[in-house]
Structure 1
Amino acid sequence: MSSRCEGPVLTYDILFITADQWRADHLPGRAPVALPNLEALLQGSVLFRRHYTQAYPCGPARAGLHTGLYPHKHRSILNGTPLDARHPTVFSLMRRAGVRPRLFGYTDTTADPRLLPPGDPAIGDYEGVAPGLEVDTLLTERATPWLAHLKRRGAAVPHPERGRDAIFAARPFGAPALFDAEDSETAFLTDRFLDWFSVAGPEPFFAHLSFIAPHPPFAVAEPFHSLVDPADVALPIGWGAFAREGAQHPLIAFHQARTNMSNFAPGLAGPAVAADEASVRRIRATYAGMAAEVDHHLGRIVAALKAAGRWERTLLVLSGDHGEQLFDHGLLGKLGYFDQSAHIPLILRDPRPEADAARGSVVDAVTQSIDLLPTLLDFAGLRPPANVDGESLRPFCRGERPAGWRDAAHWSFDFRDLVRGRPEAPQGLTDRLASLHVVRTERLKYVHFPGLPPAIYDLASDPEERRNLAGDAAGERLRVEGLERLLNLRLRHEDNTLTEWSPD
């Protein structure tokens, strides 16, 4: 277990940045838009090309990111599901070692209700703050500080009680957002970080900057709105044959029938599978513009660090919580089991001279969100708790690959709906059976359902996941391999005995 150290635990700054709903294919060289600041960052960093989250949506994704645990251990598996107080976060572990991590943005954490008085309004609120963080600027979907900023700037703020969604709904689909680019959420949060940084003092800091872009609603201000011509973006996987994509598995058909565009783009309605080509292209172009906006403000942050003489003492981690389907396979959002929901970016810049040999390199080893807690603790000279599932990525920053490194990614998705009590899934699944568990190697994609048939893909011949081999003779060997790997994973990572707090 980590413990408090003698003297300062940090000898350089740590800047931990996440961008919400950021797909791994929206990086320099792959995105349909120029990302010059990311490209410059990559020249001095390590890119982890095969990096995956362990769960989605937002709350479960960040629970694993912050605790280093697989979802079957932390059990915060839905937005609003509490994070058990016995599981420390990377922030609380740093804090007990003498560091004061500072938050700009949000963490989508639901507090353990045993720590709150009965009837406290924070019970079940998935927009709480992860333990260990000191809040500088809290920017949730309520967006109160940002709305107040817009009002001070003279912008109309319709229905402030509805939070950020009302701002985006004030313009029709396909139009730029009503605010100026310098007043966007991304700009506002960057400004708040830079304001704090300008007076932070010389001591090493740990700051977590959590951008909501490119999370829906898919709308952005000029000039980012017009950066990408919709005619230039690729059409989604399965375009023109979304019914065939749904026929692959009952869960995909279930999601296709229930994914409404009104939750993603202001002014649109109806199922995603019924979207016309112009709308699909506009949304995919807008998403790319939102990624470009994050890139622009990343450039401002790097410039400020350099101007202050702190760039060469800053460890920078840039990642996301989960991905986005963007109509691939006829889906929007983060759901199902396809790679687009789980494959996310990870860029690590280690400022120390020992990392010089690895700068600009690309790591093909499988890495996961749960690796970031042990990585950050390692850089601070701290040990992670004994039951943590992730592994430190620090050796990769020296150009080394640890012996016995994993060759598969694992993630889970719980698709029950306890709050609204709607039918949980196709074929009338009960709550306990409404989940899936993925094993993903370079060749194999095995998706296990406790109450539905599996999904199996040979990624060597079918990289886009268009042909489910479940029930075919060709998929039997892959099914056996997937089951063995899933069982072995659970056996290796069942230790959940760490107890740090008890209501008694």
Structure 2
Amino acid sequence: MGRPKNVLLIVVDQWRGDHLACLGMDNLHTPNLDRLCREGVTFRNHFTQTAPCGPARASLLTGLYQMNHRAVQNTIPLDDRHDTLGRALRRAGYDPALVGYTTTTPDPRTTTADDPRFKILGDLMDGFRSVGPFEPAMDGYFGWVAGKGFEAPKNRTDIWMPEGDDAVPGPTARPSRIPAEFSDTSYFTDRGLTYLKGRRDGNWFLHLGYYRPHPQFIAPAPYNAMYDAADMPSPVRAATPEAEAAQHPLLDFYVKHIAKGGFFQNAKGLAKDMTDAEVRQMRAAYRGLMSEVDEHLGRVFAFLEETGQWDDTLIIFTCDHGEQLGDHHMLGKIGYFDESFRIPMILRDPSPEADGTRGTIVDDFSETIDTFPTIMEWLGAPIPRQCDGRSLLPFAHSGRPADWRTEVHYEFDFRDIFYSQPETALGLHMDECSLSVVQDHDYKYVHFPALPPLFFDLKRDPGQFENRAEDPEYAVRMGEYARKMLNWRMRYAERTLTHYRATPKGLEKRPHG
């Protein structure tokens, strides 16, 4: 028998792609991720297909662009006919374990309207087996906290308030009320290690999910004090919120409506009114949460080494989506700016074939839909026809494929949902509330079906403040990128069965690899 083939898929939440030390992020203490970068391949220009969490994870775990899976917002169902990574792994003989969440709403045609899963934000995607639940309503986590003997406040999410009776909700250097040993990061790590320690034999797959650095933006001690707000960079934003909002009607809506309460427990006011000092303090806490995750990853890595599994395990570190973090006067994962869509991707292949590329940083564009095919190829299992992405393994083995993509695509749907109503505010039909982006190293084109387009010259304007869509100097160039987008949509239209055809001799299946 050959050596075992294990997979550790680490999926963090809301981790910006530029926040890796190997990519030049100064003063970020993540020694375990730094090691992973040294021993693997890091993709500098890796993008999610969409945001927020539910749609992004649908793309990650089906290998489909949003235009094909159509789970376009949190709480929008995922069509049950789509294959999933969990199902594909089962066909390959694995029992895929999952710590965390997938934020998946089930197909209503497979159940009834009374199903309790329709009353929560998200459930588990089919094919995975939960070994460390978080949803619904974080019950798994709070049950673990109670079992540890920690008494949560009556409103249990107030554990993410700042410590002290005189604390003011909002950006703060104070620690959270929950001690680090009872944090959700500690919980997820314990659940993951419990699963790994309980394994006896056979190959394993573990989706190890973390909630951080997702809001609330407050870190437990000692991580709250690891970074000085004065050392954090100022936000990239226009001189005033009003100047920012003037760029586009959708941006105008978000700048005027994003509340701080979604990012700081019980906070009042709008994100646009945050001062430079407040943004810097928030960024210090954000990095503290990252360092906490990194320290716990060290526990997992140490276990794999101690048990002789380090060199039998493919490790992927990635994320669902990014975070505005005060840039463009916004918080959250929203709109069309890079901060919300560029995410980390580190691939550590333990096989000798990857020895020549260790420590490499890839500048080519990669996408979250590439994750599913990468895992299947490494396992030697078939890649489903539905997958829109391609395996990243060539970058770890032989280098860039000659026909690799030269641009990146992502989408965002902004129809009304219970916590945000841009559709109503903009007077649009829900099926008009979307945007698509095509972007390369030089230009970025943002297309809306019912709102004005955007076109950015990224060399002259990397911050994306100057919309050139109406500038005659860019008319021809913008037309080229509009054609690129049309070509993309035509090339990747849903094709699950299009390689089959009936013939006089019967059913024929054409090769598609």
Distance 1:188 1:476 in 2: 53
Using the size of structure 1 for normalisation, the TM-score is 0.93
- Equivalent in the alignment of 1:434: 433
- Equivalent in the alignment of 1:121: 116
CA drift at 1:237: 0.4
Distance 1:352 1:333 in 2: 38
Counting only pairs closer than 5 Å after superposition, residues 41-60 of structure 1 correspond to structure 2 as 41-60=36-55
Q: CA RMSD in A?
A: 1.9
- Equivalent in the alignment of 2:404: 405
Counting only pairs closer than 5 Å after superposition, residues 148-227 of structure 1 correspond to structure 2 as 148-159=143-154, 165-169=157-161, 171=163, 172=167, 173=169, 174=172, 175-227=174-226
- Equivalent in the alignment of 2:14: 21
Distance 2:111 2:291 in 1: 40
- Equivalent in the alignment of 1:381: 380
Contact 1:34 1:292 in 2 (8 A): yes
- Equivalent in the alignment of 1:4: none
Give secondary structure in 1 for the equivalent of 2:423. coil
Mapped pair 1:101 → 2:93:
no
Give secondary structure in 2 for the equivalent of 1:30. coil
Letter in 2 for 1:410: H
Q: Deviations over 1:45-80 (max 9, x none)?
A: 000111000011000000000000111110100111
Contact 2:53 2:103 in 1 (8 A): yes
Distance 2:401 2:446 in 1: 28
- Equivalent in the alignment of 1:345: 344
Report how many aligned residue pairs link the two structures.
Answer: 489
Q: Where has structure 1 moved over 6 Å in runs of 4 or more?
A: none
Q: Deviations over 1:251-280 (max 9, x none)?
A: 111100010111111242211111123321
Query: Quick one: structure 1 residues 223 and 498, their matched pair in 2 at CA, closer, same or farther if it must change by over 3 Å?
Result: farther
Distance 1:167 1:99 in 2: 37
CA drift at 1:301: 1.0
- Equivalent in the alignment of 1:233: 232
Counting only pairs closer than 5 Å after superposition, residues 267-306 of structure 1 correspond to structure 2 as 267-306=266-305
Is the deviation greater in 329-338 or in 422-431?
422-431
Contact 1:21 1:324 in 2 (8 A): yes
Query: Quick one: structure 1 residues 123 and 132, their matched pair in 2 at CA, closer, same or farther if it must change by over 3 Å?
Result: same
Contact 2:123 2:136 in 1 (8 A): no
Distance 1:425 1:346 in 2: 36
Contact 2:232 2:283 in 1 (8 A): yes
Contact 1:415 1:425 in 2 (8 A): no
Query: Quick one: structure 1 residues 181 and 141, their matched pair in 2 at CA, closer, same or farther if it must change by over 3 Å?
Result: farther
Query: Quick one: structure 1 residues 426 and 176, their matched pair in 2 at CA, closer, same or farther if it must change by over 3 Å?
Result: same
Give secondary structure in 1 for the equivalent of 2:117. coil
Q: Deviations over 1:402-424 (max 9, x none)?
A: 12111111111100105479451
Q: Deviations over 1:457-501 (max 9, x none)?
A: 0101111112111211233133212210110001101134449xx
- Equivalent in the alignment of 1:79: 74
Mapped pair 1:358 → 2:353:
no
CA drift at 1:381: 1.0
Contact 2:158 2:265 in 1 (8 A): no
Is the deviation greater in 425-434 or in 202-211?
425-434
Contact 1:33 1:227 in 2 (8 A): no
Mapped pair 1:334 → 2:322:
no
Query: Quick one: structure 1 residues 149 and 46, their matched pair in 2 at CA, closer, same or farther if it must change by over 3 Å?
Result: same
CA drift at 1:11: 3.4
Using the size of structure 2 for normalisation, the TM-score is 0.91
Distance 1:206 1:440 in 2: 33
Query: Quick one: structure 1 residues 421 and 237, their matched pair in 2 at CA, closer, same or farther if it must change by over 3 Å?
Result: closer
Give secondary structure in 1 for the equivalent of 2:272. helix
Letter in 1 for 2:108: P
Contact 1:23 1:322 in 2 (8 A): yes
Query: Quick one: structure 1 residues 61 and 421, their matched pair in 2 at CA, closer, same or farther if it must change by over 3 Å?
Result: closer
Is the deviation greater in 314-323 or in 140-149?
140-149
Give secondary structure in 1 for the equivalent of 2:8. strand
Q: Deviations over 1:199-238 (max 9, x none)?
A: 2123221000110100011111011101110111011001
- Equivalent in the alignment of 1:485: 484
Q: Deviations over 1:438-461 (max 9, x none)?
A: 111111110001111111101011
Contact 2:253 2:422 in 1 (8 A): no
- Equivalent in the alignment of 1:3: none
Query: Quick one: structure 1 residues 60 and 302, their matched pair in 2 at CA, closer, same or farther if it must change by over 3 Å?
Result: same
Is the deviation greater in 444-453 or in 175-184?
175-184
Contact 1:456 1:478 in 2 (8 A): no
Mark the runs of 5 or more structure 1 residues left unpaired by the alignment: 1-6, 500-504
Distance 1:40 1:267 in 2: 38
Q: Deviations over 1:103-126 (max 9, x none)?
A: 111111111122223421113644
- Equivalent in the alignment of 2:32: 37
Is the deviation greater in 300-309 or in 466-475?
466-475
- Equivalent in the alignment of 1:70: 65
- Equivalent in the alignment of 1:453: 452
Give secondary structure in 1 for the equivalent of 2:116. coil
Distance 2:398 2:120 in 1: 42
Contact 1:457 1:475 in 2 (8 A): no
The equivalent position to 1:132 in structure 2, one of 127, 131, 134, is 127
Contact 1:80 1:124 in 2 (8 A): no
